[in-house]
Amino acid sequence: MQLLLGATLIDGTGACPVTDAAVLNNGGPISAGRPRQTVSRPAHADVIDVSGLTLLPGLIDGHDHLASHGYAFTQRWGLHEPLSTVHMRTATVLRQTLATGYTTIRDAAGLDVGFKLAVEEGLISGPRLMLAVSIISPTGGIGDRVSPSGHDCCIVLDPTLPAGVANGIHEVQQVVRSMVRAGADVIKCATTGGASSRPGRRVGFLLRCRDGRQDGRAGGDAGAGRRILGRGAAVGERDWHRGWRPARPVRGSCSPCGCG
């Protein structure tokens, strides 16, 4: 049991910050977080002076790509170093992300379920993870791993990151099932091309609006209730759940994947 004394506490509820707070941590949910003078010190608590610091709940990142370490083709296709080194690099990113205060991450493609299991089992340190596994997109879209020369990726497909190319509602249903089988918690759809699509190719929509309503739960029954993290360069970014929800247009792309 730990008793943290002297910090300014922001509890995340919208209430005003509490100065000179006392926060009691018993290894689970915070059991007390009030002004110091209102909290009794438990007999066996370790007292930690955090005066001058600020305490707040863990941060949540709703869109990240923790396993993407560069934008070059050699990195995107896994040619630049052994896969084991890439995995160690990803584990380092997970540890650093937790250390900066992010306790929950929604990874929008590229991180396989093994990392989530490793964090849950305590093999590596990292935030709680919600995974999309791979991006679902149409042929020629951001999930289509074809080089500008027209050659397919020369690397054998990783079974923990299923191929995400799908055209039309029936193929989407099949691919969604593959994502769920691979451990996806959320389904990532890129309805058009993106910053890493082949240049000069206009790409049709993955789903029409009425298909989106039918598949708002990630391919109907195929998605087993998974939420949809959607991205369309022409129509804006959407989170779909039980239907089609328009949002603001995308103004830029995230790095390094360029998917938005």
Which DSSP state fits 189? E
Q: 251: phi > 0 → left, psi -120 to 50 → alpha, else beta; which?
A: alpha
Give the pLDDT band (50/70/90) at residue 256: very low
Pairwise CA distance, residues 38 & 53, whole Å? 20
pLDDT higher than 80, residue 84: yes
Residue found under tokens 């369309």 = 232
Domain 2-55 has CATH 2.30.40.10: yes
Q: Is the dihedral of CA 55, 104, 47, 29 positive or negative?
A: positive
Contacts of 200 (CB under 8 A, 6+ apart): none
Any idea which of 66-70, 143-147, 167-171, 221-225 has the lowest mean pLDDT? 221-225
Residues of the chain with CATH 2.30.40.10: 2-55
Has residue 170 got a pLDDT over 70?
Answer: yes
Token pair 């995308």: residue: 250
> Which CATH superfamily includes the segment(s) 59-240?
Metal-dependent hydrolases (3.20.20.140)
Q: Which two tokens stand for residue 55?
A: 């305490």
pLDDT tens-digit readout, 107-119: 999 999 999 999 9
The DSSP annotation for 103-160 comes to EEEEE-SS--HHHHHHHHTTSS---EEEE--SEEB-TTSTT--B-TTSPBP-SPPPTT
What is the per-residue pLDDT across 118-161, written as a single tens digit (0 to 9) for each?
999 999 999 999 999 999 988 877 888 777 777 776 666 788 99
Backbone phi, psi, residue 107, to 5°: -90, 125
The segment(s) of the chain belonging to CATH 3.20.20.140 are 59-240
Q: Which residues pair with 106 in a beta bridge?
A: 130
Token pair of 64 as six digits:
């990240």
Select the more confidently predicted residue: 144 or 240. Answer: 144
How would you label 29-54 residue by residue, b for 16+ Cβ within 10 Å and e otherwise? eeeebeebeebeeeeeeeeeeeeeee
Q: Which of 30, 55, 260, 86 is nearest to 94 (CA)?
A: 86
CA–CA dist 80, 242 (Å, integer): 41
Q: What is the pTM of this model?
A: 0.72
SS3 183: coil
Compute the distance between CA of residue 200 and CA of residue 109 in angstroms, rounded to an integer: 24
